[in-house]
Structure formats: structure tokens, C-alpha cells
Structure 1
Amino acid sequence: MKKIPIFISIIGFIFGCSSSDEGGIDCTLYDPAFPSLHIRIVDSAGTNLIDNGVIDPNNISVEGDFPNAQFQIVPDYEFVSSDPDNGALNYSLSVVIPRKATFKYTINLADINTTYSFDFTAKLMHLPCDISFFTPVKGSSNNQQFKLLEVRPLQFVGDLKIQNY
């Protein structure tokens, strides 16, 4: 009879230290940050063409070589002065990063009757609690490197430079 409480304590200890508690992290409460990828459409001087009205965001379509390729326009942040890096994302296209090492996006700009294709390479990152995701490491458009900047941790932005605007 004395062994039953000891047995129950041992079972509770074993299940209390299961894989959901990885390295001192309670996986049921773990809420990691995930990467985001943004594309700004700018002229040769670096002026944002959505912000200045040359490109209407309603006339942009984006396609990917994977299911559920989506995008949204990032509006002007209300508190830009409190974090100057937020301004880097204003009026950019926020696109989905798929769970693939390589992926492609095609951006159609109806206002200037032009289509741009982008090829991206991403690196698989592993976090505790069996969480993984891909972060973009490089991109190219028309065989030219597309420079990606990490403006804040895990927030990547690149400029699509359009000539003659």
C-alpha cells in the first residue's frame, strides 16, 4: 500500500518532464516570432511608388509557385517616430514565405503594364518545441541580385527598382 503513492509520484514526474518541456520552455506557452518578407516598389531614386500614388495598390496582383501565395499592402504606421525601422515597411507588399527552400513570386503591376518575377532562396531554421520555418537569404529578379535587408529581427525587405518613374 505504501508503494502506490511512490508509484504515482514517479509516473507524475515522468509525464511532467515530457517533450513538451524542451530546455526549460513550456511548449504550450511558447510563442516564437516568425519571419516576414516585404517588397517595396521604388523608382531609381528610392521613392516609394505606392506612397506617392504612381502605383495604385488595387492594381497589383501577386502569384507564387506554391499554393496560397498571398500578399497585403502594409499601411503607413501610426507611430513611426517611436520606431524608425517601422517606416521601412510603409507601403510595401507583405508576401508569404512558404515552407520551401526555393520559391518564386510574380508581381503584376497593371498601372505600368509590367510583370516582374522573383526567385528566392530560404534557409530552414529550427526552434525549440519542434518548430521550424524558412527565412529568406537571397533573391533575384531577371538574373540580378535582389538585395534583402533585415530591418528588424526576422523582418526582411527588398526594393523592386523601376526605372523611368
Structure 2
Amino acid sequence: MSAAPAAPLVPPDTPAALQSLRELPLPDAVSYAPQTIGWLFVALLLIGLMLALAWRAWRRYERARYRREALAELGRLEAKLNDDATRGAALAGIGPLIKRTALAAAPRAQVASLSGAAWLDYLRTHGGFDDESGALLYTASYAPAARIATISPQQAQRLAQAARGWIESHHVEV
């Protein structure tokens, strides 16, 4: 069954001179392909640049993993600071957490042997622990459990905030 060509829809009252007019044909679709080889090089260059930037962002993200893990552990310790029964253990865990974080960021020979006043000086120069939070960290790290138990919840929160600030902002010269 062959179909007859469809007759154009023309209103019956159209003058004969206008009935023979046809619609203008549309031009062919414009190709999105580049017309010259230069655009191909530009596209390859942009793709390469985007891949390099993505690789660099991924490496930066991976290098900061120790910070994210330390902040997560600090969050778990902070949750225990308001309870009198667990405050001492949580405070005692902040010092080793900061030490592990520093060991992950700095050369082991520079950080591993530091303790006491030298450790507090390192924390002051590499991230901004102040004297009060340094004294609290010293007490929480080296004092007997009975002395750690005398630290108030407000002081404990202040120490946790100082530790959080140090973990988030410390930088080590390479």
C-alpha cells in the first residue's frame, strides 16, 4: 500500500497565487565537531588540565586524612568530657591524640622525642596552643589521675577546643 503524498493544508479561501508557495527548507544541522585541529588541541589541553587539577585535589584530600581521623577521635573524646566518670580518661586521651597527629604530619625525628615544656613549645609554634590550654594539656598528659579529676568541665571543653583548633590549623614546614 503506497501512501499518496500529503497535500499541504491550505485554507480553502487562500488565493491561487499563495497556494503554490511552499515552506522554506531548514538548513542542515550544524556539527559540534571542531572544524580545525587547533580546537582539538585546546580540548585535549583542557581535559589534561582538569585531570591534573582533579589529581591534585585528590592527593590533598588524601594527605589530610590524618586530620579527619584525628578530628573524629577528638569528637568521641569530647562526648565523654561532660560525664564525671569518663572525663579523666577522655582528658588523658587528648595528649596522645595530638602527639599521633603531629607524628603523622611532621618528621618523626622532629616530634617523637619531645615531651614536657619542649612539646608545649612545639605546639605553640606550630598551631597556636596558648599558655592556659598548654598547661591543661600538660596536666592531662602527665599528672596523676587524682589531679586530672580536678579539671572542671569548662576547662576540659577549653582544652578540647584548643586541640580541635590545633588539629585543624597546624602546619609543618617541609
Structure having the larger proportion of residues in helix: 2
Bigger strand fraction: 1
Q: TM-score, normalised by structure 2?
A: 0.26
Query: Looking at both structures, which has the greater relative contact order when contacts are Cα pairs under 8 Å and sequence separation is at least 6?
Result: 1
